[in-house]
Amino acid sequence: MSSLGKERRKFFRHPIQVPIKLRVADSKESFSSESRDLSLGGLNFTWPKKIAKGTTLDITIPVKEKFFELRGRVVFCKEDHRSARFHTGVSFTDFPSAFKARLAEEVLQILEYRKTISRELGHEVSEEEAASKWVREFASSFPTVS
């Protein structure tokens, strides 16, 4: 039986569009982009040029006052003819990067949840209250890093 058309990834992708900084490992120059989705295993973003499969990237995800520094390797880079950009997928190369990605993902989910419940309740909910509610409702469904 062919595996074509089946989802082959191990981790659930969370659609999170946030600004990111990219730098080819061991180079000085960094570039800005935006994530498309994030998972425990990797990150997807768009880029104006093709990046060779296997290229190691240092990635920074800013979340509030924190900067999550990650390292990943390009696993695919496919041209989107409609946007004239390349959908690029990166797999995290080490445990600390996967762990930091998970933390960044949780913080971003909590910030989005805060906006939603503030709107639903008709008043501003504190970050602490939103985090506490989010953890009670959703933390158990988040994948663990192992």
If you average pLDDT over residues 2-16, what whole number do you get?
A: 48
Residue 14 maps to a domain: no
pLDDT in tens, 14-69: 577 888 899 998 888 888 998 888 777 788 999 888 999 999 999 998 877 788 88
Q: How many Cα atoms occupy the beta-carbon half-sphere of 49 within 13 Å?
A: 5
Which domain range does residue 44 map to? 19-141
Query: In this structure, are strands 31-38 and 56-63 parallel, antiparallel, or unpaired?
Result: unpaired
Cβ neighbours, 10 Å, residue 45: 23
Residue 5 maps to a domain: no
The CATH number of the domain holding residue 23 is: 2.40.10.220
Residue 48 maps to a domain: yes
Residue 10 maps to a domain: no
Residue 146 maps to a domain: no
Per-residue pLDDT band at 75 (split at 50, 70, 90) = very high
Q: Give the pLDDT confidence score for residue 21 in this predicted structure.
A: 92
Residue 6 maps to a domain: no
> For the whole model, what pTM was predicted?
0.66
Residue 4 maps to a domain: no
Q: How many domains does the chain have?
A: 1
